Amino acid sequence: MKGLLLCAALASSPAAAEASLRSRVTVGLESLGAISLTSARTQGGIGGGAHAAFAFDAHWLAYARAAWLFGLGSHTLLRVGGGWQREGVWRPLLHGGVVLGLGGALDFSVGDRPPSRAPTLGVVLGAALLRFQVEGVTVSALELEAGLSTELIALGPRATLTLLSLGVCLGL
C-alpha cells in the first residue's frame, strides 16, 4: 500500500506536470521579409526573429513571434495567432493571427494630414506547406502570410514571407 501511495505521489508531482508542459512548447529562430502598404505609408523590410509555440494537441497550436526588420524603416514586427497542423513528419500549418508593426516606415502624404506615427495593426491568414518535424525539431520554408493592415487613417494589404524557420521542442 505504501508503494502504491508513493507511486501516486510521484506521478502527480510538479516534475511530471512540467515535463508534459515542456513537451508542448517549441522555441526557435526565423528569417523573413514583410511589407505593409497603405495610402499613408509603407512599412517593411527583411530580417530575423524568434518564435514560441504551444501545442494543445497533435493538431492545434498557438504561437507568438517577434521579428526585427531593416529596409523600409527599421521596425519591430509582433505576431500572435493560432492554427491547425497535420500530424506526422510532414506537418503543413494553416493559421491566422494579428500583426503589430512598431517603428519606422516610408511616409507618404495623405491630403493635409501629417504622416501617421501610429503602429500598424493587421489581420492575416497564412500557410506553411513546406514544414516538417522529426523528433521534436521543426523546419519550415517559404511560409506565406497575407491580410489587411491599418494605422487608423488608411487601410491596405500586408504580406510576410518567412524564408526559413527552425524550432526545437523544449521537452527533448
The pLDDT of residue 5 is: 43
* pLDDT, tens digit, 9 for 90 and up, residues 46-56: 999 999 999 99
Q: Can you give the pTM of this predicted structure? A: 0.81
Q: Give the chain as a 3 state SS string.
A: CHHHHHHHHHHCCHHHHHHHHHCCEEEEEEEEEEEEECCCEEEEEEEEEEEEEEECCCCEEEEEEEEEEEEECCEEEEEEEEEEECCCCECCEEEEEEEEEEECCEECCECCECCCCCCEEEEEEEEECEEEEECCEEEEEEEEEEEEEECCCCEEEEEEEEEEEEEEECCC
* pLDDT, tens digit, 9 for 90 and up, residues 56-91: 999 999 999 999 998 877 789 999 999 999 999 999
* pLDDT, tens digit, 9 for 90 and up, residues 115-171: 667 788 999 999 999 999 999 999 999 999 999 998 877 889 999 999 999 999 998
Q: Which CATH number fits domain 25-169: 2.40.160.20, 2.60.40.420, 3.30.2270.10, 3.40.1190.10?
A: 2.40.160.20
The pLDDT of residue 103 is: 81
Q: Where are the domains of the chain?
A: 25-169
* pLDDT, tens digit, 9 for 90 and up, residues 3-41: 544 444 444 445 444 558 888 999 999 999 998 887 777
